[in-house]
Amino acid sequence: MVLERRAERGGNCGEPSRCSNGIFTTLGLEKHPNKTFIGRVEKGFDFLGYCLWPDRLTVAQATVERFLARVTRLYEQEQGRPLRSAPLGS
């Protein structure tokens, strides 16, 4: 993940993505075309299961949906099975 601040007038690179591209080229790196997103942080973006905004961090909607689907599956698997007790700490 690369976050860049927009260059002020008279900045070194002009357009921020040009700075990144130059650094990536120098390091021998390239951006994956399907995994690259260039946009404004103010709109928020998902990264590693979270939605990042300039002023807050929330759990991404897709993460919540996967969690609920998994809990539902696990609950449905246990339906009809006899209750069992387990000693504490096991």
Per domain, the residue ranges of the chain are 1-38, 42-79
pLDDT of 66 reads 94
Q: How far apart are CA 44 and CA 63, in angstroms?
A: 15
Q: 42-57: per-residue pLDDT in tens?
A: 888 888 999 988 899 9
Give the mean pLDDT of 61-80.
89
- Model confidence at 4, pLDDT cuts 50, 70, 90, reads low
Radius of gyration of the chain (CA): 22
pLDDT of 58 reads 94
- pTM comes to 0.53
- Model confidence at 65, pLDDT cuts 50, 70, 90, reads very high
